[in-house]
Every structure is written in structure tokens, then in C-alpha cells.
Amino acid sequence: MAAQGGRNSAGRTGATEPAAAPAPGLQGRRILFGVTGSIAAFKAAGWVRCLANEEARVTVVMTRAAEQFISRLTFGALSGNRVHGDMFASDPEGIMAHITLSREADCVLIAPATAQTIARLAHGLADDLLSAAVLAADIPVVLCPAMNTNMLHHPATRDNLDRLREIGYTVIAPASGSLACGEVGAGRMPEWDLVRETLLALFADQDLAGRRILITAGPTREPLDPVRYLSNRSSGRMGYALARTARRRGAGVTLVAGPVNLPDPPGVRVVRVTTAVEMRDTVRTLAEGMDIIVGAAAVADFRPRTCQERKIKKRGAVTSIELERNPDIMAELGRNRRPGLLLVGFAAESHDHEQEGRRKLEEKNLDLVVVNDILGSRTGFDVETNQVTLLTARDRRRLPLLSKEATADRIWDRVVELATP
């Protein structure tokens, strides 16, 4: 990747390009959403809205205590579905609700989960509709405990949570911060992004479980003076999408990221670097323990030979910048590879895409090269979508225009094939 990036793609019109297939998500998933009596119940309303926006099918069950904090009407309006709460509802739909609700769902999410509800579930009680429905459920159960820190750390609650983990329920650790009771500590509802990733992982094949994967992402910055640098337009989205999807599929993921403006993917170890040399040194140190390394970063091929200690003055005589080559991280890995390590590179191309991709596959000794067009208005740098061709020594597969997450999933499908003897 040349320093300063490729040509801006804005000149091309996207009018003739096909619509991108939707990102893999929670669309169509049936979520039985339990809400219990905590001040954090108002956050659950926002989550129900997020799920509905994503076209998940949400059915809310509220405990009596939850109704002290927020009304059924809110959840009914946000989910578009009847809200359940009565164990002994006499209408035909309500009588067997404790059995039918979980039969008609793909997973149970309880948020917020109070100490009271956690205790009920840990002891197999079925004295309200939510606990009875969970007892009758043969589907994954996810809990988001939210309560005062002392209640959370009380041995009784800790034992109850341990018991629920033993049963196989997923307990998402509460976040720390200031709590509604005025104290500071653990007990807050987690971020929605983490909960969403947990749900997506439940529905994903765990075909990367046990694999240790390192992914590079984003641009590098090569400093000229304290305020200026050479870089390129990589946003990091492709590498971050690879990290999120690999994590969902069970991998242990480390992301070595250049300067990007993206939130850390939940459950992924993120190591931040700035320059190509820092990225190379970090990758070299971490490579030892990896099964798969993916180079999605747009590493600057060159850096200024010197970085001025002081800001270069425009009145000064600088009219050219002397450059020197940066290390090629993927090529170094390819030269020194140990048996069993799978190497995936990207090729950012503006012309002769496949020919150039194949050259990089061979020259860098890679197993797979993902070729993307950097001149398309919806492919390559700094856009949400990509259209790539997957090249191996044996074959080529052209993918359609997809979101970067969907592209990442298709890349992992191919990696799983290559990694399976």
C-alpha cells in the first residue's frame, strides 16, 4: 500500500452497482425478553427498540416488580407485540404462556436481571410467569445482572450466578460506574453492543473455536514532524469486521490496529500502534502463539527518512521528502512461517486485480489473498461495503457486493475450509 493511499473513489458513480446484501444480524431471530424490577428497566426499552429496528421478533415478559418502574404499554409499543406478565391470565393465549413462550423463541434475554430473579432461577422456582417460562425453556438463556454493588458481590448472589453458569446460562458481567443508588462500582447494565455480540455468537457456528487469530487493521501513520504524517484512507472497518465475526465464531482474537476511530469489538484484545515499524514489531512478538494471521491493514510502504523534531516551517526550504521503505509485515511472516500457521493477505488494487493478487499470493507466500477494488465507490477504503475475490493457489471465488461484516464471514468460511485437512 503506497503511503498517502490510492486515488479517491468518489469520482465513480455507484448507480449501476448492485445493492449490498444485508449485514448478518439478528433479523428474524425470536427473542423472549424478560424485564425485571430495577431502575435499569428503562434501558431495556432502548434495547427492545434496537432489536425491533433490526427486525428481530421480540416478545416481552415483565415481572410485577418491573411494572413498578416502566409500563407494559412502552414495551408493547416498542416491540409491536403483546406484553406478558400474568401467570394466571385466563384468555386462551395466556393460560399456557409459561410453556408456549419459550417454545416460540430462539433465546431468552433477561435484562435487567435483579438479585431476586437470579435467586429464583438459581433455585428452580416457578412462582411467576418469567421464572416458569425460563424453567420450561430448552433454548439459550442470557442474563444481564443489574443491581447495587453490595448486592452483586454478596456471597448469595455470587453463588446463584455461579449456579446459573453451571446450568449453562450465559451471564454477561455488569459494567462498572456510578449506580442509581449513588454508589460507584459494578452493577450497571452492559453496553448494548456487547449484548448484541453475545446474542449473535449464540446463533453463529462456532467453527473457529479454539483458533487464535491475529488481524491487522487500519492505516499506519509515518511522521514527518510533530504534527504531520503520511498515511492513507483506511478506516479499519474491514479489519474490525473480521475481528468481530471471528470472535462470534468462537476464535480468540487479537487486533493490531493503526489509528482508527472505531469502538473496540467486544471480547477482542486490541493493541494500538501508529507506525508500520510498530505494527511489524507488535505482530512479530504476538505471531508465536497464533494459528491464523490476517493482514487487512493498509500498511504504508514508505516512511520519511527523518522525522523532524520541530514543526517544519512553511518559510523553510523543504520542497521534497526523502522516503525509505517500511518492512513488509506479511512478506516477513511468509518467509519465516512455521508449519500450521495460515496466512491471509489483502490486495488493494486499482487495475489488473487478479494478476496483482496472484503475484502477492506467491511473492508473500500466503495461503489466501483477498483482492479488493480500491476505485469502486462502494468497495475498498472507508466505505461500509466491499466486493472481493478470494484467491488461493488452487482457485478463485468472486463474492458479490456485501457489507464488510458479511464479506468477513465469507472470508472466514474459506479460511475454515483451508484450515480443515
SS3 category, 359:
helix
Q: Which span sits near ligand PMT by CB under 6 A: 133-141, 232-240, 251-259, 395-403?
A: 232-240
346 binds ligand PMT (CB under 6 A): yes
Query: Which of 70, 347, 408, 415 lies at the binding interface for ligand PMT (CB under 6 A)?
Result: 347
- Please say which residue, 116 or 234, places its beta carbon nearer to ligand PMT: 234
Nearest distance, CB of residue 393 and ligand PMT, angstroms: 16
Query: Which of 67, 207, 278, 382 lies at the binding interface for ligand PMT (CB under 6 A)?
Result: 382
Query: Which of 187, 236, 252, 376 lies at the binding interface for ligand PMT (CB under 6 A)?
Result: 236
360 binds ligand PMT (CB under 6 A): yes
| Dihedral over alpha carbons 50, 52, 55, 57 (to 10 degrees) | 130
Nearest distance, CB of residue 294 and ligand PMT, angstroms: 8
Query: Which of 83, 164, 214, 296 lies at the binding interface for ligand PMT (CB under 6 A)?
Result: 296
- Please say which residue, 185 or 327, places its beta carbon nearer to ligand PMT: 327
Produce one character per residue of 227-259: b if its CB has 16 or more CB atoms within 10 Å, e if not.
eebbbbbbbbbbbbbbbbbbbbbbbbbbbbbbb
SS3 category, 388:
strand
297 binds ligand PMT (CB under 6 A): yes
- Please say which residue, 40 or 296, places its beta carbon nearer to ligand PMT: 296
Task: For residue 7, give the nearest of 359, 402, 349 by alpha carbon.
Answer: 349
Residue with cell 511473492: 363
Report helix angle 72-79 to 41-53, nearest 10.
10
Question: What Cα–Cα distance (Å) separates residue 377 from each residue in 5, 29, 232, 386?
Answer: 15, 32, 16, 10
SS3 category, 235:
coil
415 binds ligand PMT (CB under 6 A): no
Q: DSSP string of 105-163?
A: -SEEEEEEE-HHHHHHHHTT--SSHHHHHHHT--S-EEEEE---HHHHHSHHHHHHHHH
328 binds ligand PMT (CB under 6 A): yes
Q: Which span sits near ligand PMT by CB under 6 A: 206-214, 262-270, 291-299, 393-401?
A: 291-299
β-sheet bridge partners, residue 213: 253, 292
Task: For residue 220, give the nearest of 277, 263, 262, 261 by alpha carbon.
Answer: 277
Cα–Cα distance measured from residue 381 to residue 367, given in angstroms and rounded to the nearest whole number: 23
Query: Which of 40, 238, 390, 411 lies at the binding interface for ligand PMT (CB under 6 A)?
Result: 238
Q: Which span sits near ligand PMT by CB under 6 A: 35-43, 58-66, 80-88, 292-300?
A: 292-300
Nearest distance, CB of residue 103 and ligand PMT, angstroms: 41
Cα–Cα distance measured from residue 99 to residue 400, given in angstroms and rounded to the nearest whole number: 42
Reported as type and span, the H/E element at residue 346 is strand 342-349
Nearest distance, CB of residue 407 and ligand PMT, angstroms: 9
# chain residues binding ligand PMT, by CB under 6 A: 28
Nearest distance, CB of residue 15 and ligand PMT, angstroms: 22
Cα–Cα distance measured from residue 398 to residue 391, given in angstroms and rounded to the nearest whole number: 9
Nearest distance, CB of residue 249 and ligand PMT, angstroms: 19
- Please say which residue, 62 or 242, places its beta carbon nearer to ligand PMT: 242
Residue 370 and residue 390 in contact, taking contact as beta carbons nearer than 8 Å: yes
Nearest distance, CB of residue 272 and ligand PMT, angstroms: 15
326 binds ligand PMT (CB under 6 A): yes
β-sheet bridge partners, residue 373: 349
For the annotated catalytic residues, the residue numbers are: 181
Cα–Cα distance measured from residue 55 to residue 231, given in angstroms and rounded to the nearest whole number: 39
Residue 107 and residue 118 in contact, taking contact as beta carbons nearer than 8 Å: no
Query: Which of 295, 304, 334, 376 lies at the binding interface for ligand PMT (CB under 6 A)?
Result: 295
290 binds ligand PMT (CB under 6 A): no
345 binds ligand PMT (CB under 6 A): yes
- Of all residues in the shown chain, the one whose CB is closest to ligand PMT is 1
Nearest distance, CB of residue 302 and ligand PMT, angstroms: 9
Interface ranges with ligand PMT (CB under 6 A): 1, 216, 218, 234-238, 276, 295-299, 301, 326, 328-330, 345-348, 360, 372, 380-382
